[in-house]
Amino acid sequence: MTDQYTLTDPTTLYSDITTTAQSQDGPGLDADLKAKADLGEDTYRGLGRLIGRKALITGGDSGIGAATAIAFAREGADVAISYLPEEEEDAVRIAGLITAAGQKALTLPGDLKDPAYCRDLVAQAVEGLGGLDILVNNAGKQQSVESLADISDEQFDETFKTNVYAMFWITKAALPHLRPGSTIINTSSIQAYSPSETLVDYASTKATINTFSKALAQQLAPKGIRVNVVAPGPIWTPLQTAGGQPTEALPTFGENTPLGRAGQPAELAPAYVFLASAESSYVTGETLNVNGGMPTP
Ligand code: NAD
Ligand code: MG
């Protein structure tokens, strides 16, 4: 059987998944991606690294968050996922995979731009799971725009609300529930250090996420709560086909990385598992870059 421990050449892995030009409306669906991304459905093998843990993952319906949700469940965690109501189809499929792993799944749709929903999301996760000890702030908005003049005030506001404010609202609401040993993992990006000219607003939010996380890690370390970051490179997800990249850039998406290809969500999940589990007990305020080899500061 092939799994995430099988020795493979990382340059040729996933050469069967071609990122062709395509576009989706709204947040986009994994269900509509052509070709399908690998979320680890057939390959992620758990080893009991998160037995008994209770996790909330924002944007856990698709892409990186969904691969992480599958991995967490197969490692023994109960998992609540948040997503937008129009992503129900993807969310139901992921909830099914969590349940198939023998774990509890909670689906909690809503709009993270609304602080009241963010607070309610945490309350529902805590109530439904019977506590919380892993928080993954992963949801994100990314819209590529060529000129600053064409970034609307609305887009700028929505990108910051989704990527930064929601992380603040959710983390603040979660903290009273997090016991020592709990972990917070935020999703940044290579864009934080190596921004694209067409992602001025988005890249700025990712730099903010890095600094927010490092500051909070200092504050929470004495309380025994760790805060870390995963910074993905180019990963094949609906985010990229729903306006994250110009459509014409998709066929060569990821080819400029040292490994020469786009990454798959399944390749991100082990980073989140490591940072969530007690294996990383002496790691806090750290950023784990999973980006195909692009140099980072
Ligand atoms: P994705 O589209 O599968 O996941 C993003 C999720 O964010 C969506 O599924 C949606 O549920 C959620 N979301 C967006 N706006 C929301 C809102 N207003 N309310 C509630 N939920 C909302 O794409 P992904 O690439 O897996 O993205 C996950 C994270 O990874 C994001 O933070 C993204 O910035 C980051 N990231 C992605 C890449 C990449 O190349 N795909 C690279 C670097 C960082
Ligand atoms: Mg989605």
DSSP-derived 3-state class of residue 22: coil
**DSSP 3-state of 105:** strand
Q: What is the pLDDT of residue 29?
A: 98
Pocket flag, ligand 1, residue 84 (CB < 6 Å): yes
* Residue among 239, 255, 256, 289 to mutate when testing ligand 1 (max atoms within 8 A of CB): 239
Phi and psi of 60, rounded to 5°? Answer: -85, 5
Instruction: Write the pLDDT tens digit of every residue in 255-288.
Output: 999 999 999 999 999 999 999 999 999 999 999 9
pTM: 0.99
- For the stretch 159-187, pLDDT in tens is 999 999 999 999 999 999 999 999 999 99
Res. 1: pLDDT tops 90 = no
pLDDT score at 117: 98
Closest ligand 1 atom to Cα of 111: 19
Instruction: Concatenate the DSSP letters of all residues of 152-188 into one string.
Output: -HHHHHHHHIIIIIHHHHHHHHHGGGPPTT-EEEEE-
Q: Is 52 left (phi over 0), alpha (psi -120 to 50) or beta?
A: left
Ligand nearest to C-alpha 269: 1
Radius of gyration of the chain (CA): 18
- The answer to whether the CB of 182 falls within 8 A of the CB of 275 is no
- Mean pLDDT taken over the chain: 98
Cα gap 36→87, rounded to integer Å: 16
pLDDT tens digit string along 198-245? 999 999 999 999 999 999 999 999 999 999 999 999 999 999 999 999
CB of 140 shorter than 6 A to ligand 1? yes
Instruction: Give the pLDDT confidence score for residue 238 in this predicted structure.
Output: 98
Tell how far the Cα of 147 is from the centroid of ligand 2, in angstroms: 26
Phi-psi label, residue 264: left if phi above 0, alpha if psi -120 to 50, beta otherwise: beta
Q: Report pLDDT digits (tens) over 3-48.
A: 999 999 999 999 999 999 999 999 999 999 999 999 999 999 999 9
State CA 119 to chain mean position distance. Answer: 19
pLDDT digits (tens, 9 = 90+) for 43-100: 999 999 999 999 999 999 999 999 999 999 999 999 999 999 999 999 999 999 999 9
Q: How far apart are the first and last CA of the chain?
A: 37
Q: What is the pLDDT of residue 139?
A: 98
Ligand nearest to the CA of 170: 1
Structural domains in the chain plus CATH codes = 49-288 (3.40.50.720)
Buried b (16+ CB within 10 A) or exposed e, 189-213: bbbbbebeebbbbbbbbbebbbebb
- C-alpha dihedral sign at 230, 231, 236, 241: positive
CA angle, 38 as apex, 93 and 295 as ends, to 5°?
130
List residues with catalytic annotation.
202
pLDDT digits (tens, 9 = 90+) for 100-147: 999 999 999 999 999 999 999 999 999 999 999 999 999 999 999 999
DSSP letter (8 states) at residue 277 = S
pLDDT of residue 269: 98
